[in-house]
Structure formats: structure tokens, C-alpha cells
Amino acid sequence: MILGVPWAIVLALLTEVAVFRLCRTPLSFWSIAGGTVGANAFSWFVGVLIIRFFPIPMLGTWEDRQFQVHYEVMWVDLAFLIACILSTILEYLIWWPIGRRHAPHLLRATFCANLASYTVLGVIGLVLSHDILYL
């Protein structure tokens, strides 16, 4: 943890800030950093509310558990893709009032930043879960 925040989240946020800077977004570094944290907090909050509507059932027997692991892996992949798309839309809605004049540029930067940060989180998740999934 870095200042009480899991290092994967810090790395994902830093990735987003870096991509925004690489996309030559016409905002200052501190505007990008603050906007990234705020937009991601909003996106996370909406995601927490939405996920409550998608329960994953717990199954009992060993055969059911084998199916459940396969089902959960497929669900996680789909949920990850949906979360990335939804996050891009939600974060762009946060960025739009800040940089209205540069709206198309901000949409591209938001998409690229989210794609990069979700890639970072996905790689971290795969690396950390590798031992658990393939025992």
C-alpha cells in the first residue's frame, strides 16, 4: 500500500495521468491528476452501485464448483470489458465540462487512458491470480 491506497490502484491512476499527458491534453498536470482521481472515484462509485444488480450464485458440489470457476472467469472477462467501456463514458462526462472546447480530444484521451489503466489492472490481476487459477 502507498499512503493507505493499494499499489495497483496507484499504478493505474499514474498510468491514466501519463496517458493524458502523452495525448497532449491541453490541461495542466494538476488538473489532469485531480480530474483523474475525481473521475475514477465517481466511476468506481457508480460501478459499486451497478454491481449490486449482478449477483454470482454460489454452487455446492465439486462438479458445480468446477463449472462455477469457468463461469466466474468468463464473467470477470466480460465484466472487465463492460467496466472499461462504462468507465470511459462516465469519466468523459466528468471531463467534458472541464474541457468543452477540446471535447473530441478529451474523448480520445479518456478512452486511451482507461484502456491503458485497465490493461495495467488486468496484467496485475493475471499475474496475482495465476497461482490461484492454475493449481
Instruction: Write out the chain's pLDDT in tens, 135 residues.
Output: 555 558 888 899 999 999 988 887 677 888 889 989 999 999 989 988 887 776 655 544 445 555 555 556 667 777 788 888 999 999 888 888 876 676 677 888 899 999 999 999 888 877 777 655 444
Task: Give the per-residue pLDDT at 42.
Answer: 92
Task: Give the per-residue pLDDT at 4.
Answer: 55
Residue 119: all three cell numbers together? 490493461
Cα 57 from Cα 10, distance rounded (Å): 31
Beta-carbon count within 10 A of 86 CB: 15
**121, 34, 44, 127 alpha-carbon torsion, rounded to 10°:** 10
CA within 13 Å, CB half, 81: 5
pTM for this one?
A: 0.74
Cα 38 from Cα 13, distance rounded (Å): 11
Whether the CB-CB separation of 16 and 114 falls below 8 Å is answered with: yes
Q: For the chain, give every domain's residue range.
A: 7-133
Whether the CB-CB separation of 116 and 20 falls below 8 Å is answered with: no
Burial-class residue 133 by CB neighbours within 10 Å (0-12, 13-18, 19+): exposed
Task: Give the per-residue pLDDT at 63.
Answer: 53
